[in-house]
Structure 1
Amino acid sequence: MDLTGSLPPITRLWAYSSIALSLSEHIGLLSRFSLFYSPSLAFLPPNPQPYRAITTFLYFGPLGIDFFFHLFFFVRYARMLEENHYAGHPADFAWLVLVCAIGLLLVAPVVVAGVPFLGGALAFCLVYLWSRRNKHVRLSLFGVLVITAPYLPVALCGFSWVLTGSATAVKGDLLGVGVGHVYYFFADVWPKEVGSGGRELLGTPQWL
């Protein structure tokens, strides 16, 4: 996994921030309990902590196999999206990440209980989008299984379940797949439909 300056800017910033948070938690500089997302803790008085709406996407968990699993696939597919599909258009990639993040913040507390950290879910949004936009690509998963790109998110969810032995991590991954699919539909599918009139509902705003 290349974490050098060769990474595109948004992917690099996200990856470095994630590593810094997990290292800080590992050596006791901060607690994961100060990083997780809860709507009431983030936005309601008497002591709102809105930063939680950001740190929830930067924390992939304590240092360990699951942390490196999610970080590796985040860096791999975020990089390919940013360098290829969004090459020369960093604002469009930033808008994609922002829209998916807002979607997860709105949906997660209602749909999926027990997933306070959404970094893995946001990473799976990007994995899903890459897989749909490269549907004819064949790839080898861990040098064992050869699949076509659309099956990648399902395969990774299964591997995450085996790796952690818990359905909690898979809940977040599946949530990311769901939000990624909604984004894919409105950004890639709907504008091509006759009824859309060619309108892009999720087009990048001019101010960005």
Structure 2
Amino acid sequence: MSSPAEFYNSLPPISKAYGTACLVATTAYQLGLLDVTHIALIYPFVFKYFQVWRLITNFFFLGKFSINFGIRLLMIARYGVQLEQGPFERRTADFLWMMIFGALSLLVLSAIPIFWTPFLGISLVFMLVYVWSREFPNAQISIYGLVQLKAFYLPWAMLALDVIFGSPLVPDLLGIIAGHLYYFLTVLHPLATGKVLLKTPMWVHKIVARWRIGAPAPASRRTAAEPERSTGVAFRGRSYRLNG
């Protein structure tokens, strides 16, 4: 068995960085080093006092240490990692763009008063779960060892559990909406029409290349497939998906 350090080092870069940031934020909060009101998404402070960091920092707080916090962190470690090591393998720029696009979508949705929530981290994690469930729809999932269901239904089952346990519904709904929007623009619409509406911007590719984030694309396809890479279509070769 690998040690915790070896497991941590084996994680792909984007999921590892995001999960680490969330853990650090909650740890700092629990130690009294961080006042979360300074990182919350409060639009009047953003636009009136130009506290633009709130547009980013709100995604890093998943709540105080609790069972729910642990579950959200495990979601990143499982579903985010499986996406980054599976459909997005050697496509770090596309995975990073998915996270950025999801965050931007959530910021827009949260600007609607009925959807506003001060922290969108849970919504971003739920978006990862939704995209994972669409990419691995036939994987078998066990919920608390009591219920077996296909992964396609996982977001809705978790939404129902949050309703039962009295957790806020809006963060989960926002994550589902953002996840479906991304999936529609990068998978469903291109498959139906052959037209790509959402492409990974070149500046994201340049950031990943400049900082050498993740494994590079295979040399055999890097030059020949360069136009394809720049399209930013998230998923290709869907027919190879197997149960679990």
- State whether structure 2 residue 201 is matched by structure 1 residue 205: yes
**1:27 Cα deviation after fit:** 0.9
- Overall identity of the aligned pairs, in %: 33
- State whether structure 2 residue 17 is matched by structure 1 residue 13: yes
**Counterparts of residues 118-157 of structure 1 (less than 5 Å):** 118-157=120-159
Aligned length: 199
> Does the residue aligned with 1:147 lie in a helix, a strand or coil?
strand
Partner of 1:62: 64
Q: Is the 8 A contact 2:110 2:116 kept in 1?
A: no
Partners of 1:108 and 1:15 lie apart in 2 by 22
Choose 1 or 2 for highest CA Rg: 2
**1:161 Cα deviation after fit:** 3.3
Q: Is the 8 A contact 2:109 2:116 kept in 1?
A: no
**1:206 Cα deviation after fit:** 2.2
CA RMSD of aligned residues (A): 1.6
Partners of 2:203 and 2:111 lie apart in 1 by 29
- State whether structure 2 residue 170 is matched by structure 1 residue 171: yes
Q: Deviations over 1:179-202 (max 9, x none)?
A: 111111111000011xx3x22111
> Does the residue aligned with 1:50 lie in a helix, a strand or coil?
coil
Gaps of 5+ in 2: 205-244
Q: Is the 8 A contact 2:109 2:115 kept in 1?
A: no
**1:111 Cα deviation after fit:** 5.6
In structure 2, what residue type is equivalent to 1:103? S
**Counterparts of residues 1-208 of structure 1 (less than 5 Å):** 4-42=8-46, 44-45=47-48, 47-110=49-112, 112-163=114-165, 165-166=166-167, 168=168, 170-193=169-192, 196=193, 198-208=194-204
Partners of 2:60 and 2:171 lie apart in 1 by 14
Q: Deviations over 1:161-181 (max 9, x none)?
A: 344x23x2x210111001111
Partners of 1:97 and 1:203 lie apart in 2 by 13
> Does the residue aligned with 1:4 lie in a helix, a strand or coil?
helix
Compared with structure 1, are the counterparts of its residues 201 and 111 closer, same or farther at alpha carbon in structure 2 (3 Å cutoff)?
A: farther
Q: Deviations over 1:128-180 (max 9, x none)?
A: 011011112222222211001111001112223344x23x2x21011100111
Gaps of 5+ in 1: none
